[in-house]
Amino acid sequence: MSTLLVTGSSGLIGSEVVDYFCKLGWEVYGVDNNMRAAFFGPDGDTRWNQHRLEATHQHFHHHELDIRDRHGVDTLLKMLRPALIVNTAAQPSHDLAASRPFDDFEVNATGTLNLLEATRRHSPRAVFVHMSTNKVYGDSPNSIRVRELPTRWDYDDATFAGTGSV
């Protein structure tokens, strides 16, 4: 059975990744520490989603871990050695980033670095998928025309032709 590690597994995108791969028969390990509740208060709490995943999927295993914890991340990757890692853990609010810049950077940058380094050390053949948002580029990407191709999106604006896929 293939093994997947999903960070931010109780969030919107992470929980969808868990659902999808559990239905395909993968052994799925989720990492989440419910930091949304710390960022957004009780309305941001995702424990309900964690409990839903645990009740719905027998091959889902929750790990309470903050991806900023370098030793914890390294230990988990050494134990699991997953074939696939999907990183959806993040501080997702552009507005909150301005008022809590260190939290934002530590989660989004340092946490990702911890995951990448642990992957390199313990599961170097794993596929690593990093989920993000176009908000990291400001509002400009929202005004660039794109077109859907059979396997990807590409720019539909001559100004950006040849600069790569979206």
User: How do residues 35-65 score in pLDDT, each as one tens digit?
Assistant: 888 888 898 899 999 999 999 999 999 999 9
Q: How far is CA 147 from the centre of its chain?
A: 25
Query: What is the pLDDT at residue 141?
Result: 61
Instruction: Count the Cβ atoms, other than its own, within 10 Å of residue 104.
Output: 19
Query: What per-residue confidence (pLDDT) applies to 134?
Result: 66
Average pLDDT over residues 136-161: 77
Q: Which of 125, 151, 131 is nearest to 2 (CA)?
A: 125
Measured CA to CA, the distance from residue 107 to residue 86 in angstroms comes to 15
For residue 135, the 8-state DSSP code is: G
Q: What's the CA gap between 153 and 165, in Å, rounded?
A: 6
Q: List the chain domain ranges.
A: 3-132, 136-166
Those residues with Cβ within 8 angstroms of residue 152's Cβ, 6 or more apart along the chain or in another chain: 165, 166
Query: What pTM, to 2 d.p., does this model score?
Result: 0.82
CATH fold group of domain 3-132: Rossmann fold (3.40.50)
Tokens of 136: 């990291």
Name, in order, each residue with C-beta under 8 angstroms of 148's C-beta and a sequence gap of 6 or more. Answer: none
> Residue 11: phi, psi to the nearest 5?
-80, 180
Assess whether pLDDT exceeds 70 at residue 71: yes
**Does the structure show a pLDDT above 70 at 16?**
yes
